[in-house]
Chain A
């Protein structure tokens, strides 16, 4: 599934989907998790801009709010898009690392 804007490295949408692959999370948990896994500090405006776009594309869905905190979870289409993107990235990464003489971990 082709999703607009997926070609950029460190794409916030890719980071959000990767984070949500671990399970449903609310906004603050997402920001903390992304900072931990990628070292990228997302602003609240950026995060909700990405969530709105992913929700519109049907890649994530909002769950019922729990005390003003609304968790989000990845949909089937979102998981498929993430898998496709990560496989493509990992194939390129393997070739790049091999050509640089570094064994992929």
Chain B
């Protein structure tokens, strides 16, 4: 009896969500300490540029990611704008991921600065979850100089909100059975997946708190908010993982996604986001020596309807631009001007070892040349040199198809 109970205890699911604090900004500060304490904005500074990351100082001015740069500079005119160095970020990212992998082999990387780590059954190795989280944070700090926030819960959903609850440099554990109390503490405004639009919808029905939300049945929520959203709300307010992060293949894919703080309807912002995500994915693939056969996108609408679309071109996917072009074509299949989007993601699928020998071409293949350039950029940036491909940072012109 006792033995069985103990085994059960050990198998209680323990999920870590690791979120690197203001990741791009933190790396810029690391590489250039004079930026410390300044309002730092990472992003393109052309007229159509958007903010990729804002330092915590800049966030105090109400600046958030995916905000047009022009607007951000209006809010904080003295902010320092730095162009993103994707290759450097992905290098640091893979360094952090390598550390995470030493804690558990079951790693699910969500984006360049976010990952889930299944720590179930690791108590004997690293101690109780909170202690393991502490060791993990110390290791990352010591080896990379960066701070991370760790959320611990019995599901990905809870872990994700827990990391956000105590940020930056946070460590928050929600033990099993305390989920509902935690959800109430987080509050409806900060409940993951509940944005401004959903909030105003909820307000219309006089739902102001998670507690009030729990008084509705699944059926009534679904009739009020639609099938996906209704189900999401029903589960979320009970602290049950609505399965937002499941279904993602653990291996053989490199993907990233961005949830917009405000639903986006502008093609130019979507294009910019796709472009920078395409670079992120490409550089991560280069870093991991992987080549993708398939490009996929994920689009989530405000009502939580989620589409995934994939395309497999004939040849090899060699460059970020190629990923971007394919991703944009896929987006335009589903997206019509003005449709609001809450989340967009780009991924490389069906990966194979990039170290597999590359066949040289007799005639020049334009994309292969670009991959070589990107490899050179990556190598130079690793040596600490500041190199940019000008085109990466420019907004694609509307005529470019």
Real complex partners, A and B? no
